[in-house]
Chains A and B, each alone.
Chain A
Amino acid sequence: MNSPPSAEPLLQLQDVSVAYPTASGAAVPVVRGVNLQLAPGEILGLAGESGCGKTQLLLSIIGLNGPHAQLHGSVRYRGQELLASPLAELNRVRGARIAMVFQDPATALNPYLSIGRQLGEVLRFHGGVSGREARERACEMLEAVQVGDPRRRLQQYPHELSGGMRQRVVIAMALMASPEILLADEPTTALDVTVQSQILRLLRELRERHGIALLLVSHDMGVIAELADRVAVMYAGRIVEQAGIDTLFEQPRHPYTEALQLCVPSLAGPLPQRLPSIPGAPPDPAALAPGCAFAPRCAYRLALCEQHPPELLEAEPGHWKACHYDQPLGRLRDALT
C-alpha cells in the first residue's frame, strides 16, 4: 500500500467496513472497504461531508460504533489486531495508546465531576497510580495544553469553563496516558474562529513536542489545510482520493475533491459572481447506485461510471484516486474565470 518508505505503520486499517442493520433486514453500509495507514508522528486528515462515514470510521478504530454495528476488516495498532479483540485487550489500548478527542467539549465532559477527577480517572484506569500522582500528572497536562492556573482548574466543574477551555481539558484528558495516536473528530467545529486557531496551533505543537500522530476528521478543508501532512477524502463510505497535502490542494485528481475546494468562498483573490457548486445532495447510504457513488453529481461523468465503481488506485507515487476519468481536471476551475 502507500506506506511512507521508512517507518512501519503505527496504525493500519485494511478493508474496514461498518454497516448497520435496519428494520427491513438489509444492512446499510456506512463505511465500505477503507484502507488507511498512519505513521508515527503523522497528521492524516480525513475530509468529507456529513454522512460520508468519517466519524464511523474513526469510531471503528477504538470499537465505539455501538452494539448493533457490523464491523468487518482489520484494524492493527503496532501489529495488534483491534477489531476482533476481546474487550479487556481493547481497553488496554484505547484511552492509553489511542485516545479520542470529541467534537463537542460540552458533552464530552461529565458535568457532575470536577476536572481533576475526570483527568485523574484516565490514569486510575490505565496506570494504577495514586490519587496524588494522578493530580500531579493532571496539572502537567493542563499546563501542556496551556490552561492557566491549573491547580485551581482541577477543582472546577465543566460549566465553569468556556468552550475553548473545555476543549483544552478534553485534549488534556486524551493526553493523560501519553498516547501515541490522537483521534480527533471535528475538534474545533464547536468553537469560535479565534479559539479554533488557538486549538489548531495547540494540536500542531503536540505533534512537534511529543511526536503524537493525529487522525483528524473535519468537513472543513481549511482546518485540514492548517494541520494535515496527508489527506484522505471520503464520499459515501469510501475513500475517493488520498495524497500529500500540497498535492491534494494543487492537483486534485478526483472531481469531488476539486469541487470541495472550489465551492468554498475564499478570503483572498478575485470574487466570483457565483460560487461553483455541486448539484444535488450526498446519496442515501441505503440506496447507493451500482457505479461510482459520486457519478450523479459529477461534472466529468462517463458512461462507465454509472455501472462500475472505480477502485482506489495509485495514480502516481503516493497519490491515490478512485475515478475512471483520466484526463487532468480543471473544468470547474475554468468555469470560475
Chain B
Amino acid sequence: MKRVAVIVFPGSNCDAETLAAAGAAGSDAYFVWHRDADLRQADAVILPGGFSYGDYLRSGAIARFSSVMAAVTAHARAGGPVLGICNGFQILCEAGLLPGGLMRNARLRFLSRPTWVRVEQIDTPFTCLYEKGEILEVPIAHGDGRYVVDPRTAAELEATDRIVWRYVRDNPNGSTNGIAGVTNAGHNVVGIMPHPERRTAPALGGEDGARVFHSMEARHATQHAVDVRAVDDRHLRV
C-alpha cells in the first residue's frame, strides 16, 4: 500500500473522486491542503482537477506558487511520481515541471464529454499497466485544454517518446499534435487533460481510467531501486 497525497487547492473540485479512485486501487490516499509544506511521506502526489483560484490570470498560474508546491517540486526533482489531472496538468506546466502550456480551447466552448485517447507511453508510474497503443475512453471537462509547445519542443517530445496519451478520432481542443498528456524527461511527472478518476467503475460509465491508479501501486511494488520518498527535511531545503 502506497501513500498518495492528493493536493487540495482553493477551487479544486475533483479531489474527492481522485482520492476515492486511488483508495479503490489500494493506496493509502489522503488530502494535503495547499498551505501545508509537508507531504507527509508521500510515495506519490496527485494534483487533481478543478479551477484553482478561479483560473484567475491563467489556469494554474497562482496555484503554482502555493506553499505545498515547493514540496511537490522537491518530490518531483527527487524522482518521485507526480500526476497532474486537468487543472493539475495546468499547474505542473506553470510550475515548469512539464514543458508547454494550456490555452483556451480552439473553438472556445467548455468541453465536458468523452474523448478517446491512445496510450503512447507506458514507461511511467501512471500508465505501466496499460498496453502501448491501447485506445481508452476517458472524459474531458475543460475550457483551457489546448496544449501548446514551441515546434522544437514538440519535435523533441515526439522524438523522445514523451507523449503519454494522444487524442484519437478527433482533437477536441486543438492541442498541438493531438497531445492529451505528456511526461518529463525522467518519466516520473505526468500531466493529462482527461479525467481517469471519472472512469474507474462500470457504474461510472466505464473503467478505462482505473489502471492509472492501479499502475501507481503496481509500479511501486516492484520499483524500489531509488528511494523516491520525499522527506520533510528535503522539502524545506529546496
| A and B associate | no
